[in-house]
Structure 1
Amino acid sequence: MNEKIAALEKFLKLRNWKGGLITSRQNIFYLTGFDYEPHERFVGIFVFPGRSPLIVLPEMELKMLLEAGWRYEYICYKDSDNVWRMITEHLKENISMITEFAVEETFISLKYVRMLQQILPNIQLQNLDEALSEMRIRKSPEEIKKLRIAAQYADNAIQTGIDALYEGVSELEVLGEIEYKLKKAGLRDMSFSTMVLFGSNSSNPHGVPGENKLQPGDTVIFDLGVKYQGYCSDITRTFVFKELRDEVKEIYDLVLKANMAALQECKAGNKMRKIDEAARKVISDGGFAEYFPHRIGHGLGIEVHEEPSLHAENEDFLREGMVLTVEPGIYIPGVGGVRIEDDVVIGEEGIEILTKFQKSMQIVKSKFVLKE
């Protein structure tokens, strides 16, 4: 039996829940190694303690499922089939026995809940999110290896971004160059929508790249991540183009100091809130508390944002095998923004910082000038 599915079955059995359904793409990938684009079609894994798991999927995806290593029961259907009738027929011998039944509360649609209630009329729904999150929160050595490689690609992408800077270039042009080079290197997906932000646009923590043109004195934020074999990286670096203003140097120095202070608190057994508190104290003492509006970081893995959430109210403890981002920032309207983000593995004896690109202040000077 697949170890991850076996662990999920054990969780269900301990709670005397008769079964569960997993429908989210990310958790199906975690449990099986099978990745897909479902569009509007139903894909789900039914798990029952003491019985072989069952996956339901479109017929066109079966080859990829088997290539991923699935060796258990499956139902595959055509677009013209009534998939829920097929599921009902398959489960008919067990329907009367199923009462407590678990689903992913965060991800399952109301449509699927209603279909479940039609074929399993006696069920009381329970929440699988906590169990799946707990399983995924600590990464295996194999997962960390993939995250490490994803971070290496992200480091390379930052250099690609720097090399694409010249006066008059647009944010979207630089973004396009980064993603083009990554695809040429064999990377299919980004972890999230790449951010390349210049000047005043960089004062928006989640700014949207556009036709904004690079000018001397602009801060330049690259926030990007790469997916490698299903696992995400997430890095942010900030640069200055040609001319360094005093106010930008001040906030850059504070953010770098905050990043280092937060990393010092990334220790197994430490409370998560201490990471946020350490960074926030540096920025607050520097007089910029109101310009640091977000948490210090988040978990990283199959999704770019996973548990845990690293904020000042989180009393949970860091554990070996967790992979986190640490990303303090200061964003001042009319001046610009600075964010420095690293990906960090919590180890038994210390941390491994996966993102290696240097963090000291860099002023980028380009010999290229866009001519009108």
Structure 2
Amino acid sequence: MFSSDFQAEILRRSAKIQAGMRVVGADAALIHTNANLYYTSGRVFSGYTYIPVEGEPHYFVRRPVGLKGETVHYIHKPEQISALLTELGLPQPHCVALEWDAAHSDYMRLAALFPEAKVVNASVVMRGARAVKTEYELAQLRESAVKHAEVYHRIESVYRDGMTDIELQIEIERLLRLHGNLGLFRINGASMEIFMGNVLCGDNADTPTPYDFAMGGAGMDCSIPVGANGTLMRPGMAVMVDMCGNFTGYMTDMTRVYSIGDLPEKAVEAHRCSIEIHRELSRMGKPGVAAADLYHRAVEMAREAGFDDYFMGHNQKAGFIGHGVGIEVNEAPVLAPRSKEVLVENQVIALEPKFVIPHVGAVGIEDTYVVTPDGLQAITSAPVDIAQLF
């Protein structure tokens, strides 16, 4: 199913999951959502990863045909899993971890496979395991970051006078795809949707959205009410580009701001404040530091600069200033006021202190960082100052 080199990586990941299973008392976990299947196997397939608390994972596969390996077992339906465990010499679990974040019908069907077993939450176990990246995962993220930055360096070249925000976004999407972007913006949670990212121009940045993103936008249709809405880009407008960096199955997050002509000094100063928040939190963000402390320091800096009314939104504010990234764009930890999470070395965090200035647009940058003993180390890289498109 995967190479011998990657087998060692899978075992490292399994060890983290098994440590989390012991905390919740599980002697097995049964995984079936795409992001977690990818994490536990190195590919997405239709089926299930079964992880005993001791030993290597087994894969119960429905599709595609042709996957091979001693731990790959083909099934037609999940009800075959219990009998196959017995054939494999594996005990029936007394406490099984299932993904509580998955569809309720799936949860109930899988829980019925082991009627005598207690069921605990695998979603929290997987979230904890995936939050701290392995060296392999960090390499995948760094590769995505390099390609992400290459595209951002070319954004000015695709701008044309008289463009709308959606026309610019389409050109950026084309650049991303030509550079190898996979196109999928994978998000945890059924109520979060977006296509490849967000380009916000002028007052559209102040339009509230139902989704829990840092910035909003009306979108092109009520079926996906977020992002570019066809605004004609005019002088004095800020253009915020926040597009997905998924080139390897691991996503980086990066935002840069462009302008049509000059922006008012208030917007320029707010943008500088965002850069200063990044610098301050980069120094603070060491292992053992509370995620909530980073949030509160960012809010304090915005207030001291006189921009608290515009920080993380104006009409509608986001309740966080950063989030973990990896296979999904909203992983742990979350930098929010009530977060109980503490930074751990090799977590990867997208930091996005942003401002919405009425009648101008959104300003501020976002970069992706690795938590190190010396603070947050940026892996995305592009000029941070506002760049004029003309």
TM-score (norm 2): 0.81
- The answer on 1:171 being equivalent to 2:175 is no
- The answer on 1:206 being equivalent to 2:205 is no
Counterpart CA distance in 2 for 1:96 and 1:32 is 22
- The answer on 1:20 being equivalent to 2:29 is yes
Q: How does 1:1-372 map to 2 (within 5 A)?
A: 2-9=11-18, 11-12=20-21, 17-36=26-45, 38=46, 43-50=47-54, 53-59=57-63, 61-63=64-66, 65-66=67-68, 71-77=70-76, 83-91=77-85, 97-106=92-101, 108-191=102-185, 193-204=196-207, 205-207=215-217, 208-292=227-311, 293-294=317-318, 295-365=320-390
Two-structure CA RMSD over aligned residues (Å): 2.5
| Bigger mean CA offset, 45-54 vs 22-31 | 45-54
How many Å apart are 1:11 and its aligned residue? 4.7
Asked if structure 2 preserves the Cα contact closer than 8 Å seen for 1:171 and 1:211, the reply is: yes
Note closer, same or farther for the CA distance 1:361–1:113 as it changes in structure 2 (3 Å cut).
Answer: closer
Counterpart CA distance in 2 for 1:219 and 1:14 is 48
Give the aligned residue type for 2:287: A
Counterpart CA distance in 2 for 1:130 and 1:50 is 19
Counterpart CA distance in 2 for 1:313 and 1:104 is 24
**Structure 1 residues 126-178: Cα deviation after superposition (integer angstroms, max 9, x where no partner):** 11233222222211222111111211222122233222223211222211111
How many Å apart are 1:113 and its aligned residue? 2.5
Note closer, same or farther for the CA distance 1:52–1:259 as it changes in structure 2 (3 Å cut).
Answer: closer
Note closer, same or farther for the CA distance 1:13–1:360 as it changes in structure 2 (3 Å cut).
Answer: closer
How many Å apart are 1:119 and its aligned residue? 3.0
Give the aligned residue type for 1:300: V
Counterpart CA distance in 1 for 2:230 and 2:65 is 43
Note closer, same or farther for the CA distance 1:109–1:273 as it changes in structure 2 (3 Å cut).
Answer: same
Asked if structure 2 preserves the Cα contact closer than 8 Å seen for 1:160 and 1:177, the reply is: no
Counterpart CA distance in 2 for 1:306 and 1:296 is 13
Asked if structure 2 preserves the Cα contact closer than 8 Å seen for 1:53 and 1:73, the reply is: no
**Structure with larger Rg:** 1
How many Å apart are 1:303 and its aligned residue? 1.0
How many Å apart are 1:52 and its aligned residue? 5.6
Asked if structure 2 preserves the Cα contact closer than 8 Å seen for 1:54 and 1:75, the reply is: no
Counterpart CA distance in 1 for 2:53 and 2:162 is 62
3-state SS, counterpart of residue 181 of structure 2? coil
Asked if structure 2 preserves the Cα contact closer than 8 Å seen for 1:238 and 1:339, the reply is: yes
How many Å apart are 1:345 and its aligned residue? 0.9
Asked if structure 2 preserves the Cα contact closer than 8 Å seen for 1:258 and 1:280, the reply is: no
Asked if structure 2 preserves the Cα contact closer than 8 Å seen for 1:239 and 1:362, the reply is: yes
Counterpart CA distance in 1 for 2:55 and 2:370 is 36
**Structure 1 residues 18-51: Cα deviation after superposition (integer angstroms, max 9, x where no partner):** 4221112111111111124x5xxxx211223456
TM-score (norm 1): 0.85
Note closer, same or farther for the CA distance 1:182–1:15 as it changes in structure 2 (3 Å cut).
Answer: closer
How many Å apart are 1:190 and its aligned residue? 4.4
Counterpart CA distance in 1 for 2:268 and 2:26 is 57
Counterpart CA distance in 2 for 1:114 and 1:20 is 15
Counterpart CA distance in 2 for 1:198 and 1:304 is 22
Asked if structure 1 preserves the Cα contact closer than 8 Å seen for 2:257 and 2:385, the reply is: no
Asked if structure 2 preserves the Cα contact closer than 8 Å seen for 1:202 and 1:337, the reply is: yes
Asked if structure 1 preserves the Cα contact closer than 8 Å seen for 2:18 and 2:52, the reply is: yes
Counterpart CA distance in 1 for 2:20 and 2:184 is 33
Partner of 2:210: none
Note closer, same or farther for the CA distance 1:33–1:151 as it changes in structure 2 (3 Å cut).
Answer: same
Note closer, same or farther for the CA distance 1:19–1:220 as it changes in structure 2 (3 Å cut).
Answer: same
How many Å apart are 1:354 and its aligned residue? 1.0
Give the aligned residue type for 2:152: I
Structure 1: any 5+ residue segments left out of the alignment? 78-82, 366-372
Asked if structure 1 preserves the Cα contact closer than 8 Å seen for 2:235 and 2:262, the reply is: yes
**Structure 1 residues 166-224: Cα deviation after superposition (integer angstroms, max 9, x where no partner):** 32112222111112122222322243632112111133412211321111111000001
